[in-house]
Amino acid sequence: MSRPLSRITLQDVAREAGVSLATADRVLNGRAGVRGQTVERVQAAVARLGYRPNLAAARLARGETWRLCFVLPAGSNVFMRQLAQQVGLTAEWLKGQNAYIDLVRVDVFAPEELARTLERLAGRYDGVAVVALDHPRVRAAIDDLVGAGVAVVTLVSDVPNSQRAHYVGIDNIAAGRTAATLLGRFAGGRSGSVGLVVGTAALRDHAERQFGFSQVITGEFPGLKVVALGESFDEEERARQVAQRLVSEVPDLVGLYNVGAGNRGIATALEASGRAKELVFIGHDLTDDTRRALLRGVMDAVINQDAGHQSRSAARVLLAHCAGEPLMEEQERIRIDIFIRDNLP
Amino acid sequence: MSRPLSRITLQDVAREAGVSLATADRVLNGRAGVRGQTVERVQAAVARLGYRPNLAAARLARGETWRLCFVLPAGSNVFMRQLAQQVGLTAEWLKGQNAYIDLVRVDVFAPEELARTLERLAGRYDGVAVVALDHPRVRAAIDDLVGAGVAVVTLVSDVPNSQRAHYVGIDNIAAGRTAATLLGRFAGGRSGSVGLVVGTAALRDHAERQFGFSQVITGEFPGLKVVALGESFDEEERARQVAQRLVSEVPDLVGLYNVGAGNRGIATALEASGRAKELVFIGHDLTDDTRRALLRGVMDAVINQDAGHQSRSAARVLLAHCAGEPLMEEQERIRIDIFIRDNLP
DNA sequence: GATTTCATGATGGGCGCACCTCATTTATCT
DNA sequence: AGATAAATGAGGTGCGCCCATCATGAAATC
């Protein structure tokens, strides 16, 4: 069921403005050699007719192809695997849109290597999305890339003082605060200690979550105090050990917040202790594991950042930047999702 | 920064398959008159080369224009106004995509009028999105529309037994359950009554929320019981009155769930009573009012369904349906957002 | 008045695809 | 084998726009 339904074309604008198609085209594409007065006539016609260029036609005519590169961490926790998969889907979806995506994986925790990888991308890509370590060397590499005319966005973890065009990801301080408020309220007025399982402070996002969390617990739940016993390095087994120590060594433990990956290990430790139901456990990233943990009642809430949204948003932002099109800021904001047992998607 | 970077075209596929462009075209567009064997050869070539039709070119060549109609309730609570506004934005965004949207507002609570309005749309639109009352007359009208070859999706509130192609909205039973779990847990083990402020049972969504809410409170929080004293009809003042009665007449009130609109009225009542902080208050839809109420600490959580997502999703689903393109189910699922003070966007 | 500069029109060649026609080849059936 | 039907090729047109070239006319310069 389709009908031609003549829409307004450049042709119509030209006629309305009393100029030739060529001139109308010159005006719309900002080419030189048109009198100011004529420019205004054309613009007035555009406004009067409500002309919107046909994007499909424009893209076709331009025949531009944008080349994007996504740089993700090699050491793959579940979230990063999800993200990589979503980037794959985004790439697929972009094939119909004059753009394609290459995916590169590097050891993000090695600033030198990450920086060198980034430097190599200049000239080979029009846009780069990178899960970046906030390190001077990396920041410089990003700035160089931008200097070389490449659009750069940071993904998941930001490098605030760099020249990146955009940060696609959640506000991790707010995420930490969210976890704290939920944990505090779920604890229901009990007082005691809340265990903090930190991943690694290397990526900025973890440090920020931790900051936000402590801030709220300290400031708003006078009955609670934060204790941390060791890092998980985002590994399941390490996380399990840390959780186990918390459960056994902290007598007044009321809850537990895992900043990074390894929720499954923590769930194991809690269930082994027999206190899974009574302890409040909040972590990040909705995966098969955390979903099951929520349903079993081991976890009480999961803070999530949607990998698919971030991947698509990064692509949209990069393309808009490349093509010089405007983007709807509002729509590109990544939300901090809260999942409990009842609102699982 | 653009480069031609020859992508794979139908031309390439034809060459690879050893057929003419015409035949490749016949296969790809499912036209008759091609031997099964040849079809396979072409499809194999498509797979081998990873050919994806250039959407821009296809749309341009088809020159199709899709006409969509969104039917929203006339009586405008805040959410419906948000939705209408988002539909406007969606319409704007669609102008570059060979499609446009008309917005119609009717009194949804008058089944006859809604049904007649729907009937009039046949033949004039390719797709219709409707916030529908679940009523036999309306269901019949929807089925007629579908029978007339119009793609129909229900929006926000479903009509399950109709022939609509899709329901774009949240699972309202789950939303009610979510509210109940949050309320129960935020109440922190206290026992007593939770007040239910119902809007109106006319729209299916409210009834479902109420059902899910009661189910969880009854089943999982033995210390709590649900009390309801009158309907708000989604009006602020009525909601205020109901809340006031709850606060003054229910001595053991620990919290309050507002199923529909009118949160501002309830906030007013709670603050007037001086018990705003102590009572748990959960409602729906993130608006300026509820946002402020969260920040003030009057509300404890807001369950939200994103109007923008729903509007865009409905448009995408309708267009995909019209054009016979596949759609990513996964991506079109509307989530139940939970907002607390700390994760406000 | 002749020359230079500038503004504009006219025109054509794509981009990749959809859709149509007509001729030609190939398979199928009496 | 000959007739008939089916499958395929060749080619053209147009979608709306971008971009380039060339010609033309008018205004500005000397």
Inspect the interface and report whether the beta carbons of B53 and A96 lie closer than 8 Å.
yes
A7 touches strand D (CB under 7 A): yes
The Cα of A110 is separated from the nearest Cα of chain B by a number of Å equal to 30
DSSP-based three-state secondary structure for B31: coil
The Cα of B24 is separated from the nearest Cα of chain A by a number of Å equal to 18
**A189: nearest CB among B178, B188, B341:** B188
CA of A25 to C1' of C11 (A): 14
> At A289, which amino acid appears?
D
Q: What's the CA gap between A258 and A240, in Å, rounded? A: 11
> Which distant-in-sequence residues (6+ apart) come within 8 Å of B30 by Cβ?
none
**A56: nearest CB among B60, B188, B308:** B60
The Cα of B182 is separated from the nearest Cα of chain A by a number of Å equal to 9
pLDDT category at A6 given cuts 50, 70, 90 is low
**A337: nearest CB among B66, B212, B337:** B337
Q: What's the CA gap between A34 and A24, in Å, rounded? A: 9
* B335 contact residues in A (CB cutoff 8 A): 337, 343, 345
Written out in words, the top-level CATH class of the domain with range B66-169+307-334 is: alpha beta
Angle at A283 between CA A73 and CA A297, to 5 degrees: 135
* A96 contact residues in B (CB cutoff 8 A): 52-55
Q: Does position A85 have pLDDT exceeding 70, yes or no?
A: yes
- What per-residue confidence (pLDDT) applies to A2? 41
User: Which of strand C's nucleotides are less than 7 A from any protein C-beta?
Assistant: 6-12, 14-21
**Could you list the pLDDT tens digit for every one of the 345 residues in chain B?**
444 345 789 999 999 999 999 999 999 888 888 888 899 999 999 999 888 888 888 888 887 788 899 999 987 688 899 999 999 999 888 876 778 899 999 987 788 999 999 999 998 899 999 998 889 999 999 999 999 999 999 999 999 999 999 999 999 999 999 999 999 999 988 999 999 999 876 778 899 999 999 999 999 999 999 998 888 888 899 999 999 999 999 999 999 999 999 999 999 999 999 999 999 999 999 999 999 999 999 999 999 999 999 999 999 999 888 887 778 788 899 999 999 999 999
Q: What's the CA gap between B219 and A252, in Å, rounded? A: 29
C-alpha closest to that of B224 among B236, B237, B215? B215
> Which distant-in-sequence residues (6+ apart) come within 8 Å of A40 by Cβ?
none
Angle at B8 between CA B4 and CA B11, to 5 degrees: 110
Q: What is the dihedral of CA A162, A164, A169, A171, to 10 degrees?
A: 40
**B345: nearest CB among A59, A189, A335:** A335
- Name the nucleotide nearest B33; use CA and C1': D7
**Taking a C-beta distance cutoff of 8 angstroms, is the pair A234, A262 a contact?**
yes
C-alpha closest to that of A25 among A10, A41, A37, A12? A10
Q: Does position A208 have pLDDT exceeding 90, yes or no?
A: yes
CA of A34 to C1' of C1 (A): 28
Inspect the interface and report whether the beta carbons of B333 and A345 lie closer than 8 Å.
yes
Q: Record the pTM.
A: 0.89
Q: What is the mean pLDDT of chain B?
A: 91
CA of A64 to C1' of D17 (A): 13
Mutant choice from B1, B55, B321, B344 vs A, greatest count of A C-beta within 10 A: B1
C-alpha closest to that of A225 among A266, A259, A187? A187
Q: Does position A97 have pLDDT exceeding 80, yes or no?
A: no
Residues 8-37 of A with CB under 7 A from strand D: 9-11, 22, 25, 28-29
Task: Please return the burial class of B122, using the count of CB atoms within 10 Å of its CB with bins 0-12, 13-18 and 19+.
Answer: middle
C-alpha closest to that of B12 among B23, B2, B21, B3? B21
Q: Nearest chain B Cα to A63, which residue? A: B4
CA of B320 to C1' of D5 (A): 37
User: Which of strand D's nucleotides are less than 7 A from any protein C-beta?
Assistant: 6-12, 14-21
Q: Nearest chain B Cα to A331, which residue? A: B308
Mutant choice from B338, B339, B341, B344 vs A, greatest count of A C-beta within 10 A: B338
Which ranges of A101-235 would DSSP assign to H, the alpha helix?
A: 111-121, 136-147, 172-186, 204-220
**Tens of pLDDT, residues B245-284:** 999 999 999 999 999 999 999 999 999 999 999 999 999 9
Inspect the interface and report whether the beta carbons of B3 and A65 lie closer than 8 Å.
yes
| CATH number listed for the domain at residues B5-53 | 1.10.260.40
CATH 3.20.20.70 for domain B172-304, yes or no, is no
Angle at A205 between CA A201 and CA A211, to 5 degrees: 75
Domain boundaries, chain A: 5-53, 66-169+307-334, 172-304
Task: Fill in the DSSP letter of residue B129.
Answer: E
Residue B275's CB is within 10 A of a number of other CB atoms, namely 12
How is residue B299 written in tokens?
């509300």
- What per-residue confidence (pLDDT) applies to B201? 67
CA of A50 to C1' of C9 (A): 25
Residue A193's CB is within 10 A of a number of other CB atoms, namely 18
**A1: nearest CB among B62, B308, B322:** B322
**How many angstroms from the chain centroid is the CA of residue B161?**
18
Inspect the interface and report whether the beta carbons of A2 and B64 lie closer than 8 Å.
yes
CA atoms within 13 A on the CB side of B40: 3
Domains B66-169+307-334 and B172-304 share a fold: yes
Number of A/B CB contacts below 8 angstroms equals 142
B5 touches strand D (CB under 7 A): no
* B50 contact residues in A (CB cutoff 8 A): 95
**Taking a C-beta distance cutoff of 8 angstroms, is the pair B75, B109 a contact?**
yes
Tell how strand B337-339 and strand B301-304 pair up: antiparallel
CA of A39 to C1' of D27 (A): 18
Q: What's the CA gap between A194 and A255, in Å, rounded? A: 5
